[in-house]
Structure 1
């Protein structure tokens, strides 16, 4: 039985902590939790420390706001440096972030373990994942994190071990593909209407192909995609790609179409999706 620290009391932090608590000792640190464990005590007691913190987006400048996780990493780094402990990032961060942390804080063992759960079914999703992705520079750290997951998931779930930057990109490609798929489906739903065709029937037959599947094609109350993750992840990766001179034209077109068809931009009001500066501007 391992001692695991969970930093953050949001959807991911709660699902992660409650999932691991089935087999391990869990210590939470969060200003939003009454019986919060101090950072120092988490660092002293826990070998594995999962950072489940908000990474909101600056939608005006297509940037990710890493200020919260930067502060927490800077607090933990001197406490775990040179010790047999791992700082494991579960927050969605742009590719290259963990590498920058590792360079800035030598002697600290970093890993990236992106989460793919849905907000509505987070606890169940954590315990029933399609795959687990672990990115680490230290093979021993990666294998230990894999064993933590095996303890609660068994051996039926595929666990991928890779480097942190690859793991970070996997999360962004997954989320932005699903966002793009929603827009693609919206357009064919509109075309189906013009043709007098039942779109749900089209989706059932197209989705029967195992290479495609029907998820994210089905019509919802509002066109386009919203929520906490898809919009912020889309603008963040578009911004990074632009910095690197890469034209993600398909994703950019999907985002522009989303802004056109999405009547309720709920992400502008969701805590953790948009940075505080933009919230103040809107007020």
Structure 2
């Protein structure tokens, strides 16, 4: 049963329209090259409209994997496809695993605190998730390969893509946790100080330091780079013909690259050029 007739899941015509719009998403990200206004995370602002960080993150990230899974379960019935190949479900599983970590586990369990997020960023993030999920979900659930023969001769490529995706995800998680440890350490210090002085615990929401472990020694945003690698592995699994996966990679880079470059400027302004040293923003020795 469709939640929204011809849109969720999408009809073939509407899916093609959604995918066309999704390919134009980098046009939206051009704004980030001309302004430093990005009201979330370290550049969040005080606003009465702000949404608490953890719940904003959950509600703007979770719709992606939920929409993709809904398409996987509902669209084949609508199209008369009896069962989808294991490779389709493998890609759906890879996508879901990433976002279970990113949308649920990270904000609700692992992150000690998160800065508030402005509704503008929240709305754009939901748009990103829904366009991506519908594009990928439509391709995986019936508008792309629908039989195991469609994947014939690609076993080794699929295996290589899964390995790259897996290492990218693990590296992403490792560097995310290095950032979390800054807050956790600050929280421990604040709790110890509050206990000794008999005062309330100070807010550590805006505590920032220069991390140094792993690829942080070379760049300031290795978690971004690792996520790009992760989704390149995902694209390799789908193959060149998986245009939605390719577009996902392009749109991730278009969205995150200007954020990383402006973040490099933020670190230099906050800590000084000398402390930032030879670190690049996102690609070691290059950018």
- TM-score bracket, normalised by the shorter chain, equals under 0.3
TM-score for the superposition, normalised by structure 1: 0.24
Give TM-score scaled by structure 2 length: 0.23
Greater percentage in strand: 1
